Copies of this chain bind each other. A is one copy, B any other.
Amino acid sequence: MNIPDPQKLSLNTATVRKQWKLAQIIDGCARHGLRGISPWRDQVAELTLKKTRQLIESHGLAVTGLCRGGFFTKDNWLDDNRRAIEEAHVLGARCLVLVVGGLHEKSKDMPRARAAVREGLEKILPEARQAKVPLAIEPLHPMQAADRACVNTLEQALDLCDELGEGVGVAVDAYHVWWDPKLQSQIARAGRERILGYHICDWLVPTRDLLNDRGMMGDGVIDLPRLRSWVEGAGYAGFHEVEIFSDYWWGRDPDEVLKIIRERHPAT
């Protein structure tokens, strides 16, 4: 396998969100030689959209995604997604990452949730196209189906993309999809057109928490070089965005974390 291009390393800001504010994270990326960043909207709001844009531009970072829109099964989803599209536009984000939402409150009706997601996507897609903001549906791990996203496989996400047409694709997050027996074929199906982002971290054995026990690349069981070979083999030429939700890594010195990410990247 070829070595990943070090220029393609990007940081999802959730990875060090407990230690640093967004301005510090932007600065940290630049200092550690990471060329991409994917910020979360609450951090952007805190710093202000204008200042975020200025800082990211002045450091010459690519915005590999904005996290996040979606949650189509919550109240007020339309306004929130409209704001998210506008923010992604202002930041020049390569995509708006969508965590689509789980079951409606007090509901057990998965088909209803999935229908709401499709309808929500149909509604916001014209506005996203107009703003030139590609929408990246992120299939989440099935263990998060109830409360975070009822789109849980790449196949399901790509079926949605086929129904919706242009301007929408997928974010392939190793953590969420690595287990899927149809992963290779669905990545090939997605192709260059539909793969809008590629997120990496690792699956730990044992995993002690359903949300915040992701591993640093190399500490778990995901065959990341093989996965990257499939993603890049499908034509994806974008960034490798590190996104680690982890109580452990949130407890470490963030400069250490970024240093380790750099060190681990070549073996992914």
Contact = CB atoms under 8 A, between A and B. Distances in A.
A107 B220 CA distance: 10
Interface stretch (A24-32, A37-45, A141-149): A141-149
A90 interface: no
User: DSSP class of A's interface residues: helix, strand, loop or mixed?
Assistant: loop
A221 B181 contact: no
A112 to B, nearest CB: 10
Contacts of A248: none
Given A110-B178, A143-B210, A146-B179, 15 more contacts: A108-B221, A108-B222, A141-B142, A141-B143, A142-B179, A143-B143, A146-B221, A147-B205, A147-B206, A151-B181, A152-B179, A156-B181, A206-B210, A207-B210, A208-B210
Contact of A181 (B107, B114, B141): B114
Given A103-B221, A141-B143, A146-B221, A179 B110 contact: yes
Contacts of A181: 114, 151-153, 155-156
17 contacts: A107-B221, A108-B222, A108-B223, A110-B179, A142-B143, A143-B143, A143-B210, A146-B179, A147-B205, A151-B181, A152-B179, A152-B180, A153-B181, A156-B181, A206-B210, A207-B210, A210-B210
A253 interface: no
Contacts of A179: 110, 142, 145-146, 150, 152
A179 B103 CA distance: 11
Contacts of A103: 221
Interface in A198-214: 203, 205-208, 210
A241 to B, nearest CB: 21
B109 A223 contact: yes
Tallying the copies of this chain within the complex gives 2
Contacts of A208: 210
Contacts of A151: 181
Interface in A104-160: 107-110, 114, 141-143, 145-147, 150-153, 155-156
A149 to B, nearest CB: 10
Contacts of A206: 147, 210
Given A103-B221, A108-B221, A181-B114, A207 B142 contact: no
A205 B146 contact: yes
A147 B142 CA distance: 16
